[in-house]
Amino acid sequence: MAGLVVTLAAIATFSYYSLRQIAGLRDLQGRLIDRNRRDSLQLLRIQNDLQLLALALRDMTSGDEPYPMTAWKSQLDRIRTDLEDAVRQEAGLAPDPRPVEEQQYFTGLLTQLWISLDRMFERAQAGDQSGARELVRNSLQAQQSSLTTTVARLLVQNNESEEMAARRIQEIYGLVERNTYYFIAAVVVMISLTSLYLIHSNRRVLHHLAQVSEQRSDLARKLISVQEEVLWSISRELHDEFGQILTAIGALLQRAERLNAAPQLRSGLHEVREVAQDALEKTRSLSQALHPAILDTGGLEQAIEWYVPVFEKQTGIAVALERRGSCGEVPDHIAIHVYRILQEALNNLARHSRSARAWVRVEYGPERLRLEVEDRGVGIPANGGGGKGIGMIGMMERAELLHGRLEVARPEAGGTLVRLEIPLVEAAASG
C-alpha cells in the first residue's frame, strides 16, 4: 500500500508539473510569439507608411513638380491617418518586455513629426514655399529618418524576442523530456522495489502456507492413523472378547437345553440361545465393518472381493467388479486407505445416486494402482455445486496421504465417476 501511494503521488506530482509546463509553454507561444508576430506586422505597416512619407517629402523638396507644397496635403493626410492607426494598434500589441521610455520616445518622435508637418503646411499656405521646403529638408526628413530607424530597431527587438522565445520553448521541451525520462526511471525503480517486496512477501507467505500444509498433513495422517488404530482395537475387542462371551453363552444355553427340564423351560432357553446367536452375528458384522479381518489376512484384493457382495446384499444395488492386472503385495497402510475410499464411495453412491447399478474397477500395476467407482444415478450438479461433505474430505485426505489423486467427474453417459490413482512406490515410501 505504501508503494502504491508513493507511486500514485509521484504520478500526480509529475502530471501536475507537466501540465504547468505545457500551460506555460502555451502562454509563452500565445503571449510572445503570436503577439510579436502581429506587432511586427504593424511595425512593417508603420515602416511602409514612413517610406511613403519619405518619398512624398523627397518629391516636395526636389522642385521637379510644378505644384505648390499644399498639393501634397491630401496624400500626407492619408498617410498620417493610416500611420496613426498603425501606431495605435502597435501600442496595444507591444511586447511586455519593451521599456516604457522607448515607447514614449517613439511616440514623441511621431508627435514632433506631425507638429513639423503642420508648421510646414502653415508656411506653404502663407505663400512661403521656400521656407516650407527648407523646413522639410532641415526637420521633417530628419524626423522621418529617426522614426524609420526606431521602427527598424523595434523590428529587430521583436525578432530577438521571438528567437529567445523559441530557445525558451526548446528548453522547456528538453526539460519536460528529461524529466519524463527521470520520472520513467523513478517509476521503474519504484515498481521494481515494490515487486521485489511483493515477491519476498509472497515467498514468506507461501513458505508459511507450506509449513501449515505440512503440519496439517502430519496432523491428518496422525488422526487417520489413530482412527484406524481405534477401529482396529474396537474390532478386535468385539471379535475376541464379546464374540467369545456370546459364543460361550450360546454353548451353555445349548447344553442347558439337553438337561431334563420342563418343556416350557427348554423352549425359553432355545429362544435365549437364538437371541445370543443373533447378537453374535451382529457383533461379528460390526467387527468386520469397523476393520475387516480379511484385510489383514488376505490383503486388499480379497478384501474388495469380500466387501462388494456384502454391499450388494445390504443395499440391493448390483455392483459389477472388474479387475485388471496382477495384484502384488500391497502394504497394509496403503490397503486400508484404498479400502476406506472404496467403502466411502459406495456408501455415497447408496445414499445419493438413486442408481440400481454400479461398477467397481480395480487396475493393479507394478508402480500405480487405479480404483474407479461409477454409477448411472442423478450425478453431481452440472455447475459443480453442492459442496463437499465430511466423507468426501476424508477421501481426499487419504488420497493426499498416499501422494495420489482423487477425481469426481460426470461421465458422458451420466451419473458419477470417482477415480483414485496412487503411485505405489511413493505411497510405500511415505508409510
Residue 25 has pLDDT above 90, yes or no: no
Cα Rg, the chain, nearest whole Å: 57
CATH domain 2-195 topology? Four Helix Bundle (Hemerythrin (Met), subunit A) (1.20.120)
Query: What's the mean pLDDT in 129-134?
Result: 84
137/153 Cα distance (integer angstroms): 24
Give 324's strand partners: 363
Q: Which CATH class is domain 292-430?
A: alpha beta
Residue 355: all three cell numbers together: 442408481
pLDDT band at 431 (very low <50, low <70, confident <90, very high): low
pLDDT band at 360 (very low <50, low <70, confident <90, very high): very high
Q: What is the pLDDT of residues 284-323, one digit of tens each?
A: 777 766 777 777 788 888 888 988 998 999 899 999 999 9
Element (H, E) at 137: none
**DSSP sequence for 303-344:** HHHHHHHHHHHHH--EEEEEEES------HHHHHHHHHHHHH
What residue ranges do the domains of the chain occupy? Answer: 2-195, 292-430
Residue 85 has pLDDT above 60, yes or no: yes
420/368 Cα distance (integer angstroms): 10
Query: What's the mean pLDDT in 216-244?
Result: 72
Residue 385 has pLDDT above 50, yes or no: no
Query: What's the mean pLDDT in 46-73?
Result: 81
**pLDDT score of 261:** 66
Residue 359 has pLDDT above 90, yes or no: yes
